[in-house]
């Protein structure tokens, strides 16, 4: 029988235990390290691929800008939209205005609203205008009686005011020029005319009420006066039509709801005035009762005329001219 040494027995007992405690953990550690290396290589590969993709994407990506509060259109900046106008008005004279309206605003409402400060006066052109009017009337004047006429007509007017314009169609092509306007106006109109009579056509006579009068002299000179001072809300409409380089034709038509009515007066000299109602000439200045009757008759005629003027509550404003919008 083969002999088994004590060392062999101990080796048989010890080596399996050592193998379980030492060999197996070493194998597991090696496997774990290999897995970690593979995972690290995989991560590095993914990072490299991501970096390459980002680099390629940046070459084709649109430029990025820092976030702004709001993109602004340079055309909407002040003073773009400033407007200046110059024209004429038959009821106010030489017309001018300064205002602001910017059709390039992004806001729906901002592009539709504008403001204007409007003023007009006859002062620069009143002499030429009145000369032309009187030239048109001619030397014969305007006949009011067989031997009385109106001539030497003098007109003067002015107004000043502020308006808000609303453009319903904004900047929509042709319709964008139409506007509705509202505001406040103040002004006045003065009209004077001479009442002139001569004996070239016969006796200078006229009627006031139920009385008849005449002048004993060869001539008479009186004056008819109309004055209208007004203030009030303005409502109107208008249009501006573009031509070129910002130059436009503008038109406005509207009315002022006047707080006052036009006033009329009549100045008739008493010197040489005779009452011929009873076919017996009597000098008015010599009899107090005749003077009173004349003043009463004149007052009644003016009152009747004033009643007609009091029916007119609106002062018309019509303007036409050229404007420039920056």
Q: Are 93 and 229 contained in the same domain? A: yes
Q: Is residue 1 part of a domain?
A: no
Q: Are 285 and 201 contained in the same domain? A: yes
Q: Are 232 and 133 contained in the same domain? A: yes
pLDDT at 76: 44
pLDDT at 6: 46
Q: Which positions of the chain have pLDDT values less than 70?
A: 1-79, 200-202
Domain range for 37 is 13-59
pLDDT at 102: 84
Give the DSSP H or E segment for 177: none
pLDDT at 133: 84
Q: Are 27 and 95 contained in the same domain? A: no
> Which CATH number is 204's domain given?
2.40.160.170
Q: Is residue 221 part of a domain?
A: yes
Q: Is residue 4 part of a domain?
A: no
| Per-residue exposure over 73-87, b if at least 16 CB sit within 10 Å of its own CB, e if not | eeebeeebbebebeb
pLDDT at 150: 83
Q: Is residue 2 part of a domain?
A: no
Tokens coding 290: 């005749």
3-state secondary structure of 65: coil
pLDDT at 54: 58
Q: Are 165 and 33 contained in the same domain? A: no
Count the domains in the chain: 2
pLDDT at 72: 45
Q: Is residue 274 part of a domain?
A: yes
Four-point Cα dihedral 66, 72, 73, 79, nearest 10: -140
Query: Residue 209's closest CA among 123, 141, 122, 277?
Result: 277
Bridge partners of 314, per DSSP, are 257
Q: Are 94 and 205 contained in the same domain? A: yes
Pairing of strands 93-100, 82-89: antiparallel
Q: What is the pLDDT of residues 75-91, one digit of tens each?
A: 444 457 889 999 999 89
Q: Are 197 and 281 contained in the same domain? A: yes
Q: Is residue 251 part of a domain?
A: yes
Q: Are 50 and 178 contained in the same domain? A: no
Q: Are 188 and 41 contained in the same domain? A: no
Task: Show the beta-strand stretches assigned E in 245-313.
Answer: 247-257, 263-267, 273-275, 282-283
Q: Are 233 and 181 contained in the same domain? A: yes
Q: Are 194 and 242 contained in the same domain? A: yes
Q: Is residue 68 part of a domain?
A: no
Q: Are 248 and 294 contained in the same domain? A: yes
Q: Is residue 75 part of a domain?
A: no
pTM of the full structure? 0.67
**How far is residue 179's CA from residue 170's CA, in Å, rounded to a whole number?**
9
CB 153 within 8 A of CB 146: no
325, burial (CB in 10 Å: exposed 0-12, middle 13-18, buried 19+): buried
């Amino acid at each position: 029988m083969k002999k088994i040494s004590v060392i062999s027995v101990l080796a048989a007992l010890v080596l399996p235990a050592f193998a379980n405690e030492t060999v197996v953990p070493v194998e597991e550690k090696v496997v774990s390290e290999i897995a970690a290396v593979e995972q690290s290589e995989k991560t590095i590969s993914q990072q490299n691929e991501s970096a390459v993709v980002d680099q390629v994407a940046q070459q084709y990506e649109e430029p990025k800008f820092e976030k702004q509060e709001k993109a602004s259109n340079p055309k909407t900046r002040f003073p773009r939209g400033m407007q200046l106008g110059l024209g004429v008005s038959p009821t106010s004279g030489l017309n001018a205005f300064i205002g602001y309206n910017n059709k390039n605003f992004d806001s729906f409402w901002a592009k539709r609203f504008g403001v204007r400060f409007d003023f007009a006066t006859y002062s620069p052109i009143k002499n030429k205008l009145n000369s032309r009017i009187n030239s048109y009337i001619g030397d014969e004047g305007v006949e009011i009686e067989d031997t009385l006429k109106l001539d030497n007509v003098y007109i003067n007017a002015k107004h000043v005011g502020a308006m808000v314009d609303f453009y319903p169609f904004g900047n929509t092509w042709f319709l964008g020029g139409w506007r509705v306007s509202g505001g406040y106006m103040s002004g006045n109109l003065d009209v004077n005319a001479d009442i002139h009579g001569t004996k070239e056509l016969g006796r200078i006579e006229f009627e006031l009420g139920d009385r008849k009068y005449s002048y004993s002299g060869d001539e008479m000179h009186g004056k008819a006066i109309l004055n209208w001072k007004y203030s009030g809300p303005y409502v109107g409409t208008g249009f501006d039509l573009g031509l070129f380089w910002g130059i436009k034709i503008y038109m406005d038509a509207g009315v002022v709801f006047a707080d006052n009515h036009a006033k009329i007066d009549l100045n008739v000299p008493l010197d040489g005035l005779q009452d011929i109602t009873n076919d017996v000439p009597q000098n008015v200045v010599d009899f107090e009762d005749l003077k009173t009757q004349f003043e009463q008759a004149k007052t009644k005629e003016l009152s009747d005329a004033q009643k007609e003027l009091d029916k007119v509550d609106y002062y018309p404003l019509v303007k036409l001219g050229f404007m420039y919008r920056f």
